[in-house]
Amino acid sequence: MSRSLQCSSRRGAGSTLGLTVVVLSLVLVLPACDLIRFGGSNLSKQQKDHIRQKVTAATCSDANRLAEAEKLFDSKGLQPELEEYSEAVNVVSKLKGKTSETIVVGAHYDKTTLGCGAIDNWTGVVMLTMLAEELKASSTQKTYLFVAFGGEERDLKGSRAMAYGMVKREEDRPCAMVNLDSFGFEKAWALKSISDDSLLKLASDVERKRGGSFSIRNYRGASSDSKSFQLIGVPSITFSGLGDDWRDYLHQDSDIPENVDFESVFDNYEFLREFLRNLDESSCESLK
């Protein structure tokens, strides 16, 4: 390209035109590539704007994350309650369904020191509260606990404390746990090491119905809050939308909203909504 710049003005004019055409076509093609990669999203403009605005507003100070998470729940009319444990505080909203069979849907709100935790995991918290609002507007079979976990970056403190509490009271044991952690690059995939086969199969079926194929991955050393529920025998899954270059962003200064590909997040949201709808109709027995 620069080559064209070296040519004389006459040709320069020509090559400038060439360059303009190339740039213009790139400007046109790039979003189209995203659209091809992620499919035209059925999200409303309002929903897209909300995701973009809230992820962009992610607070970079870990000290403010709890208050900001609570505000997000409040803004969606979810009447959150704080569950305070010795080493972490969780934000919890309960949605009663036709049955008492319970699904925990979670996303951690805390972050490590570097960066703004936009990818890890404000994308997850924003989508969690939107999913809760949408399910609240529809009548569900199952009862839901929507939870923004604290202390995930400190060895899963918030989710361990909650799961441990559920062991003591059998009637509180959930039927399944769905965890959202870090989005902004790719179509949703699941982390195999902390996900159970029944939910992996359901995810594959849902993505097949959407015309795609679902990806299951393993990254050594990667973990998240579904592990705490797996440890008490609850069928669980962790979804993510990171790319293979995740080490360049997680817990780094580069974990900022500018590095989030929102088209991928819109697609992830649609997939997660469809997944929860299918899970709501699944029998707890079939998930064991």
56/73 Cα distance (integer angstroms): 17
CB of 124 to Zn ion, least distance (A): 7
Quick one: 80 or 158, whose CB is closer to Zn ion?
158
Joined together, the tokens standing for residue 153 give: 């970056």
Helices (H), ranges, the chain: 2-6, 9-38, 45-56, 62-75, 123-137, 157-168, 197-209, 226-230, 262-281, 284-287
Which residues, numbered 155-214, are part of the site for Zn ion (CB under 5 A)? 181
Which residues, numbered 6-25, are part of the site for Zn ion (CB under 5 A)? none
User: If binding is defined by CB under 5 A, does position 255 make contact with Zn ion?
Assistant: no
CB of 117 to Zn ion, least distance (A): 8
Q: Residues with Cβ < 8 Å from 50, sequence gap 6 or more?
A: 126, 130
CB of 149 to Zn ion, least distance (A): 10
Quick one: 43 or 55, whose CB is closer to Zn ion?
55
CB of 146 to Zn ion, least distance (A): 17
Which residues, numbered 77-136, are part of the site for Zn ion (CB under 5 A)? 120-121
Q: Residues with Cβ < 8 Å from 140, sequence gap 6 or more?
A: 95, 97, 98, 280
The site that binds Zn ion (CB under 5 A) totals a number of residues, namely 3
Joined together, the tokens standing for residue 4 give: 């064209």
Positive or negative torsion for Cα 164, 165, 168, 173: negative
In b/e form, how buried is each residue of 148-169, taking b as 16+ CB within 10 angstroms?
bbbbbbeebbbbbbbbeebeee
Joined together, the tokens standing for residue 246 give: 């995740």
Quick one: 255 or 280, whose CB is closer to Zn ion?
255
CB of 152 to Zn ion, least distance (A): 6
User: If binding is defined by CB under 5 A, does position 267 make contact with Zn ion?
Assistant: no
CB of 40 to Zn ion, least distance (A): 29
In angstroms, how far is CA 17 from the centroid of its own chain? 43
User: If binding is defined by CB under 5 A, does position 240 make contact with Zn ion?
Assistant: no
Quick one: 43 or 116, whose CB is closer to Zn ion?
116
Quick one: 151 or 287, whose CB is closer to Zn ion?
151
Residues that bind Zn ion (CB under 5 A): 120-121, 181
